[in-house]
Amino acid sequence: MNIYGVMAIYKFEMARTKRTLVQSIVAPVITTSLYFIVFGAAIGSRIDQVSGISYGAFIVPGLIMLNLLTHSISNASFGIYFPKFVGTVYEMLSAPVSTLEVVLGYVGAAASKAVILGVIILITANFFIDLKIAHPIMMMVFILLTAVSFSLFGFILGIWADNFEKLSVVPMLVVTPLVFLGGSFYSTDMLPQPWQTISHFNPVLYLVSGLRWSFYEISEVSVMLSLASILVFMFACLGVVYYLFKTGYKLRS
């Protein structure tokens, strides 16, 4: 294992956060605060409790998951796309680093930034509500697995995309709607049939439900099923990344 090669990529990607501090840290904090003001105050005043939890507290796991997914994907996809765009990816491919080491550097940095952002959102939420976490270890497990899995997914998107429009189309038109329709800001028990059943085909529901269980011990699907789904997705993404590097798809041509 070329630790120096991994750390060189990791540190370079992490340093990009310092150059875009407002976009990476300040903007999500402001957005989260606005969610609490709009959803927590306006809607929360009309919804007393959801599953025995105050509405403001209920939406915290959904807010964390929303930011985890979007920033994991965007950080990882831009991280690998930009070297392709400027042509420096060929230097990386010819360097004495393996596929695993390249992925560890880029995905590790993207996941780290997403986890840091998730913690910042958690701290921000404490200013608005009295937040209690029933299972902090499980919370971190879900956050870490989600950050790594969707950083891998973003890495795949970055390799696949050949322009900036393609880079943003999946997060904007697929991932964000799935998060909003995945029980982030409401319980699927509120939905009439057949929408309750249909919502269980949304993969994001399992992520939000698992993370919410770690906070309040309430979930809409089995916690073990939530863990299994994110693990299956992570290994599937690892398989795709291995295939892309092995074949050189959009990397060597």
Tell me how many helices (H) and strands (E) the chain has.
13, 2
Task: Flag whether 130 is in a domain.
Answer: yes
Task: Flag whether 56 is in a domain.
Answer: yes
Q: Please count the structural domains in the chain.
A: 1
118-147 mean pLDDT? 89
CB atoms within 10 A of CB 240: 17
How far is the C-alpha of 65 from the C-alpha of 202, rounded, in Å? 14
Instruction: Specify which residues 53 forms β-bridges with.
Output: 50
15-35 mean pLDDT? 74
pLDDT band at 21 (very low <50, low <70, confident <90, very high): low
How far is the C-alpha of 34 from the C-alpha of 39, rounded, in Å? 8
Q: Would you state the pLDDT for residue 167?
A: 81
Question: Mind listing the pLDDT tens digit for each residue in 187-241?
Answer: 887 777 887 888 888 889 999 999 999 999 888 888 999 999 999 999 999 999 8
As a whole-number percent, the residues of the chain with pLDDT over 70 amount to 91
Which strand (E) or helix (H) includes residue 49? strand 49-50
Task: Flag whether 253 is in a domain.
Answer: no
Q: Would you state the pLDDT for residue 215?
A: 92
Q: Which residue has the higher pLDDT, 220 or 18?
A: 220
Task: Flag whether 71 is in a domain.
Answer: yes
Residue 251 CA from chain centroid, whole number: 25
Task: Flag whether 208 is in a domain.
Answer: yes
pTM of the model: 0.88
Helix, strand, coil percent content, the chain, rounded in steps of 5: 75, 0, 20
Picking from 27-31, 92-96, 233-237, which range would have the lowest pLDDT averaged per residue? 92-96
Task: Flag whether 252 is in a domain.
Answer: no
pLDDT band at 44 (very low <50, low <70, confident <90, very high): low
**Residues 6+ away with beta carbon under 8 Å from 159:** 80, 81, 84, 244, 249, 250, 251
Task: Flag whether 190 is in a domain.
Answer: yes
Q: Would you state the pLDDT for residue 188?
A: 80
Task: Flag whether 112 is in a domain.
Answer: yes
- Which domain range does residue 234 map to? 3-247
The packing angle between helices 27-35 and 99-126, to 10°, is 50
The mean predicted confidence, pLDDT, of the chain is 83
